[in-house]
Chain A
């Protein structure tokens, strides 16, 4: 069984300030980890993913996430946010073993509101 917990339902942040969105997971098998973003009235888009190798992964628009196996976490960070980063962010986990391949499970989401 696997599950994902996003600890913050909403994060208000000022423009150009840093932001961190927390994600913890539990799983009995090795996992792949993802962050998705959903802009208002749109579908979900992949932000970044961790499969293996370097524990720090980056997206093209300045976000980064670090996989911490001992703490079972995959927190998302951005050093300086823009108004356009206002969106809902979802952490997701997928098992790597054959009996868990089909399940891609999401956390409850974190709403980021960036104000000037």
Chain B
């Protein structure tokens, strides 16, 4: 039981490049979310999903796309990377609203 797996752990992108951050969970959780963590700003919700085929925007969705074709996977796409997207990204999943979220180990992204 691997929990929530994020890849890659580190990434450097050039401005304008696109990439996909991968997130997979093997706990059959319906709810999955993407956050970015910046100093002094806590974790800000980018996008979330309440089940396969259903996604919605969080607090800071601009510049990011998501899809949820399976229960297990919830990739985050950066369409055209900008230096403002330099951050640590966390994926999380949980089975229902009353339970804790299980977090991946994070992806440290630097956009130069």
Contact = CB atoms under 8 A, between A and B. Distances in A.
Interface residue range, chain B: 20 to 34
Nearest to B105: A43
Interface string B47-66: 01110000010110000000
Contacts of B23: none
B92 interface: yes
Contacts of A109: 40, 42-43
B100 to A, nearest CB: 4
Main secondary structure of the interface of B (DSSP, over half): strand
B40 A102 contact: no
Interface in A78-101: 90, 92, 94-96, 101
A2 B87 CA distance: 24
Contact of B40 (A9, A43, A103): A9
Given A6-B42, A49-B100, A90-B43, A102 B106 contact: no
A107 B59 CA distance: 12
Given A43-B106, A106-B43, A101 B100 contact: no
Interface in A25-66: 32, 34, 43-44, 46, 49, 51
10 contacts: A32-B98, A43-B90, A43-B103, A94-B97, A101-B31, A104-B31, A104-B33, A106-B44, A106-B45, A109-B40
B101 interface: yes
A103 B58 contact: yes
